Amino acid sequence: MNSMKDALHFTECGLDNVYLMNGFRYGQTSNGEEVLIIQDLPGLHAAIAMSVVDSPEPLNAKTFKYLRKQVDMAQRQLAGILGVEEGTVSLWERGKQPVPKSADIILRLMVRETCNGNARLVELIERFNALDRVVHENMLQLQIENDHWQACA
């Protein structure tokens, strides 16, 4: 195993405590810029998520947000499942309010099931995402201009 001096502090995931001991290298683009190349990035994110899920520590703002993104859900969607307002999820993710134990447990279960390949749950989340896209595509945005309402450009 590599020593900590050879480890990569992987903050790009949004968490402060992730270090990669191997599975990465540096390369160069055609114009000579140095780039970081990480092997199996989706697998890495799944391993990070499962490590967070298996941790006995309560979810904090960053770990809650990371897990929500891992299951590919918008704050609005997760809020609907948890029976809270979207702003409440935002407050948890910004560290303005602690994540309630019930939300912690439900999100951990959702992540565990999606990482373990629960096809029905993955399909359900994909349906939520599709519905959310349809709602936003059909959204009419209006504004007042010259004292008259009109559709936004």
pLDDT in tens, 76-128: 989 988 999 999 999 999 999 999 999 999 999 989 988 887 767 667 767 76
Structural domain count, the chain: 2
Task: Note whether 78 and 116 are same-domain residues.
Answer: yes
Residue 51 has pLDDT above 90, yes or no: yes
pLDDT at 67 exceeding the cut of 90: yes
Residue 82 is assigned to a structural domain of this protein? yes
Q: How far is CA 97 from CA 50, 82, 104, in A?
A: 24, 15, 13
Structural domain includes residue 150: no
Residue 138 confidence class, pLDDT cut points 50, 70, 90? low
pLDDT, greater one: 142 or 97: 97
At 37, the pLDDT band (50, 70, 90 cuts) reads very high
Phi-psi label, residue 72: left if phi above 0, alpha if psi -120 to 50, beta otherwise:
left
For residue 2, what are the domain limits? 1-39
Are residues 31 and 102 part of one domain? Answer: no
Q: Per-residue pLDDT for 144 more than 80? A: no
Inform me whether the pLDDT recorded for 9 exceeds 70. Answer: yes
Mean pLDDT of the chain: 87
Query: Is residue 149 left, alpha or beta, with left meaning phi > 0 and alpha meaning psi from -120 to 50?
Result: beta
Q: Is the pLDDT score of 1 beyond 60?
A: no
